[in-house]
Structure 1
Amino acid sequence: MLRVKSFEPLLRPFAAVLRPLALASLVANVALIVTGAAVRLTDSGLGCPTWPKCTDESYTTTAAMGVHGVIEFGNRLLTFVLVGLAVACFLGALARPRRRSLVRLSVAVGLGIPMQGVVGGITVLTHLNPWVVGLHFLLSVALITAAFAFWRRIGEGDDAPVALVPGPLRSLAALTALASLAVVAVGVIVTGSGPHSGDRGAKRNGLDPAAISQVHADLVFLLIGLSVALWFALRAVPAPPAAARAALVLVVVELAQGLVGFVQYFTHLPVALVAAHMLGAGLVWTATLAVLWSLRSRPVVPAASSAVAARSQAPEPVAAA
């Protein structure tokens, strides 16, 4: 483990607010989906026509680029906010020398953000190729997963997780999570076939929007069915109340997201509803992660017990001759 004792006074302030910092990082990564939606839905995807610069001569937007340049450049600036939060979380994790898992998770989030920026640059350089744009969104989902894990692990120990529900219920939850991920992934493909390309000249993926939307809707019905079944099952067995509440929240979020999805489809994809639907995708996945987390526990080892255990494992001092 890194030696941080000499830096402990500098790290202590970050450790004191580590949980709020982790929550801010999670919220900011969900917000990145919304700002990305704003770029796409305002046809500002090529507001900065190159990368890493905004123009061939400038790293920032210029007056000649108008509002599209401002929107695209503003989305790029959010990356620096995410990096700042990730660095603060890493410093706070370093201040907890017995929590190696926290350091690893903070590093995963920190490395994922510049990777997300690079993929975003590739989307610009490929003139908003719909498959690359979809990868850009899915990487946000991966970052949300890592940020959520970091946030929840702060209040847990590093021992092996203990299951709180029977095996069949854990399998049902895993199947629900797979269905949730499939809904998000196919939703990305639906977006790539639709009219909101991010720029008037950007190509689409060539799939039939009606057909792929039907596949997406079928998966949504499957997900809601699995989630409702999981909620009833958690209420029928001696499961922690928090698990049933998390499953209920997931069902409510899914129903709201499904309602927005159907309304936007039958009203010909108005910009405001599409943006709300993209935010909903991030919230559905976050609620799914909350359900998975509620089904297991990692016991927290008190600091005093850790110190006693460390002393008991230390070698006995050798008496001087």
Structure 2
Amino acid sequence: MHASSVTSRSETSIAIHRPLRVFAWLSFLAEVIIIGTGGAVRLTGSGLGCSEWPLCTPESLIPLPEQGIHGLIEFGNRTMTGVVGLVALAVVLLTVHAVGGRRLVLRALWFAVGGVVLAVAVYAIAEVLGVAYSAALMSAALLLSVIAGAVDSLRRTEQRRDLALLAWIVLAGVMAQAVVGGFAVLTDLNAFIVGFHYASSLLLVCVTAAYLVRLYAAPGPRETAVPRWFAILTHVTGLALAVTILFGVLTTGSGPHSGDADIKRTGFDATWLAHVHSWPGYILAALIVALLVSAWVLRLPTRNWLIVLTATVLVQVLVGVLQARHGLPPVLVGIHMMLASLSAAAYTVVVLKLKRPVATEHAPAVAAHAGHA
């Protein structure tokens, strides 16, 4: 993601208060943690610990004693989804207040209330008509209200639209993820839906990381801070990272950790896919090392974050080799999943560091404000 892709029409300095910074970090951490709790559901065979959605059983919202530890693990992950959503909502409201004041916050709250009313109405009508997946339709109504609220808010935002846009994307993404997770349960853990669910969660980690970068960055126009060939090589590295993660998802979808003992896998040869997954992984590691060496020789602004990315990917490679040699122990597979999200987040920061604020006579004052924020 380029920093220029989310710049505002009129970027000026705004007051960034401590609560917004705290909740922005909490949002990033929550998105990483929920990948871990989702992995725990899958790796402990608890994917159908709650057989229904959004209820846990046809009669109960929470797991019953006879569902045992699997029900608790699955319900714990669902509870974490609620936490992630509330934190994302807090970031949206705090961001909207920072960029537009109380007026925009009230408009956003009106859309929230309208969305809840619409969702309840949709659910009630679906139940009366006997329409299948009434809960999914209710969630879809809530998602539409979030999107409508985002469009309305962004149209009225003149300052730091980059922050507002990223905050709304995370909230809408969390809402969409709840729907996808529900369909994963309703389709008996279809491997492709589960894989999409994980990949989407990883993208939300990247967006929350991008929000943090832009939160602390000086506002205004940006210019390229690295040679053109370095920028191109960085984006090629991103492609290698995406391919590595894609084949990792397919490999896991074909392996033994389905989330439930009776669930069918994708049908691909997991052993063959594991080898294919490793090839772009090794290419990725080589490309990142090349970027790191080049950045330090040329003293580019990406060099510190390339150290983080290099360390994360090298540990990721090591864990991948160990898990393959020891029969895919659940703990190592879970660590591998978490590291993939952190690698993607670190890469996102590297890409955003390819550009810097355009130097102007007001740059020192703006930079000082951003540093204080």
The two structures have a TM-score, normalised by structure 2, of 0.75
Shift of 1:283: 1.3
Amino acid at match of 1:55: T
Question: RMSD across aligned C-alpha pairs, in angstroms?
Answer: 2.0
2:297 to 218, 224, 236: 236
CA 1:220–1:303: 2 relative to 1, 3 Å: closer
Are the equivalent residues in 2 in contact too, given 1:53–1:60 (CA < 8 A)? yes
Match of 1:162?
Answer: 223
Shift of 1:238: 4.3
Match of 1:199?
Answer: 260
Between the aligned partners of 1:172 and 1:181, the Cα distance in structure 2 is 14
Amino acid at match of 2:44: T
Shift of 1:156: 2.3
Match of 1:29?
Answer: 31
Match of 1:8?
Answer: none
Match of 1:211?
Answer: 272
Between the aligned partners of 2:226 and 2:58, the Cα distance in structure 1 is 57
Match of 2:136?
Answer: none
Between the aligned partners of 1:255 and 1:85, the Cα distance in structure 2 is 31
Shift of 1:214: 0.8
Structure 1 gap segments, 5+ residues each: 2-11, 306-321
Shift of 1:15: 3.7
For residues 250-290 of structure 1, give each alpha carbon's deviation from its aligned partner in whole angstroms, at most 9, with x where no partner exists. Answer: 11111111111111111001111111111111111112112
Match of 2:354?
Answer: 295
Q: Secondary structure at the match of 1:17?
A: helix
For residues 144-189 of structure 1, give each alpha carbon's deviation from its aligned partner in whole angstroms, at most 9, with x where no partner exists. Answer: 1211111111122442322111111000111111111111111000
Match of 1:110?
Answer: 171
Trace 1:32-71 onto structure 2 (pairs within 5 A): 32-71=34-73
Between the aligned partners of 2:82 and 2:294, the Cα distance in structure 1 is 43
* Moved >4 Å (runs of 4+): 299-305
Are the equivalent residues in 2 in contact too, given 1:44–1:198 (CA < 8 A)? yes
Amino acid at match of 1:72: E
Amino acid at match of 1:46: L
After superposing the two structures, state which structure 1 stretch, 199-208 or 292-301, moved more.
292-301
Q: Secondary structure at the match of 2:278?
A: helix
Are the equivalent residues in 2 in contact too, given 1:187–1:216 (CA < 8 A)? yes
Asked if 1:16 corresponds to 2:75, the answer is no
Q: Secondary structure at the match of 2:257?
A: coil
Match of 1:152?
Answer: 213
CA 1:303–1:235: 2 relative to 1, 3 Å: closer
CA 1:235–1:102: 2 relative to 1, 3 Å: same
Between the aligned partners of 1:304 and 1:58, the Cα distance in structure 2 is 57
Match of 2:317?
Answer: 258
Between the aligned partners of 1:134 and 1:185, the Cα distance in structure 2 is 9
Shift of 1:299: 5.4
CA 1:106–1:248: 2 relative to 1, 3 Å: same
Between the aligned partners of 2:364 and 2:289, the Cα distance in structure 1 is 40
Shift of 1:247: 1.3
Are the equivalent residues in 1 in contact too, given 2:213–2:349 (CA < 8 A)? no
- Structure (1 or 2) with the larger CA radius of gyration: 1
Amino acid at match of 1:283: L
Structure 2 gap segments, 5+ residues each: 1-7, 9-14, 100-158, 367-373
Amino acid at match of 1:170: A
Are the equivalent residues in 2 in contact too, given 1:48–1:54 (CA < 8 A)? yes
CA 1:302–1:59: 2 relative to 1, 3 Å: farther
Between the aligned partners of 1:189 and 1:46, the Cα distance in structure 2 is 21
Amino acid at match of 1:265: A
CA 1:168–1:302: 2 relative to 1, 3 Å: closer
Between the aligned partners of 2:247 and 2:346, the Cα distance in structure 1 is 18
For residues 91-127 of structure 1, give each alpha carbon's deviation from its aligned partner in whole angstroms, at most 9, with x where no partner exists. Answer: 2212222222211211110111011111001110110
For residues 271-317 of structure 1, give each alpha carbon's deviation from its aligned partner in whole angstroms, at most 9, with x where no partner exists. Answer: 11111111111111112112112221235977988xxxxxxxxxxxx
For residues 52-105 of structure 1, give each alpha carbon's deviation from its aligned partner in whole angstroms, at most 9, with x where no partner exists. Answer: 111111111111211111000000001111111111111221222222221121
Trace 1:273-312 onto structure 2 (pairs within 5 A): 273-298=332-357
The two structures have a TM-score, normalised by structure 1, of 0.86
Amino acid at match of 1:87: L
Trace 1:64-213 onto structure 2 (pairs within 5 A): 64-97=66-99, 98-213=159-274
CA 1:113–1:271: 2 relative to 1, 3 Å: same
2:305 to 220, 223, 246: 246
Q: Secondary structure at the match of 1:95?
A: helix
Amino acid at match of 2:171: G
After superposing the two structures, state which structure 1 stretch, 109-118 or 227-236, moved more.
227-236
Are the equivalent residues in 2 in contact too, given 1:15–1:95 (CA < 8 A)? no
